[in-house]
Amino acid sequence: MRVFYLGLGFFSLGGGIAGIVLPLVPTTPFLLLAAFAFARSSPRLHDWLTGHPRLGPPIAHWREGGCIAPRIKVIAVAAMLAVLAGGWAAGLSGTVIAIQAAVLGLVALFILTRPHPAGQTDA
């Protein structure tokens, strides 16, 4: 199982890093999965990831109580709106757009209702 979790950790870390530079790919869920997998396969990699100056803070914020930084909330909701606009521009049917809007709306509601990390306010 150690090899499985190690592979899952590296795969998830790659997804998280891709999410930093690709606008519609989420970063934090991949980083959380990588931290979970590395905690079960490599304490050294887990410590590196959670202590990293760019990758560690979103993990720490989530662990502190499901917190999402205001800047990340804005980026996430903007990306969801871009996906919805892209579907509309591509000429998807009204039913598909309605399903997209409902799902993305619920996800946006979840994100926007998460608390902010200590010391951070609305963007």
Whether the predicted pLDDT of 4 surpasses 70: yes
Amino acid at 74: V
Q: Under DSSP, is residue 89 helix (H, G, I), strand (E, B) or coil?
A: helix
What is the pTM (predicted TM-score) of this model?
A: 0.74
Do 5 and 32 touch, CB atoms closer than 8 A? no
Confidence check: pLDDT of 123 > 60: no
User: Where are the chain's structural domains?
Assistant: 2-63, 70-112
Tally Cβ neighbours within 10 Å of residue 30. 21
| Buried/exposed 77-106: b ≥16 CB within 10 Å, e otherwise | bebbeeebeebeeeeeeeeeeeebeeebee
Average pLDDT taken over every residue of the chain = 91
Structure tokens at 69: 């930084």
Any idea which of 8-17, 56-65, 91-100 has the lowest mean pLDDT? Answer: 56-65
3-state DSSP helix/strand/coil percent for the chain, to nearest 5? 75, 0, 25
Say what the pLDDT of residue 121 is: 63
Would the pLDDT of 120 be above 70? Answer: no
Mean pLDDT in residue range 30-43: 95
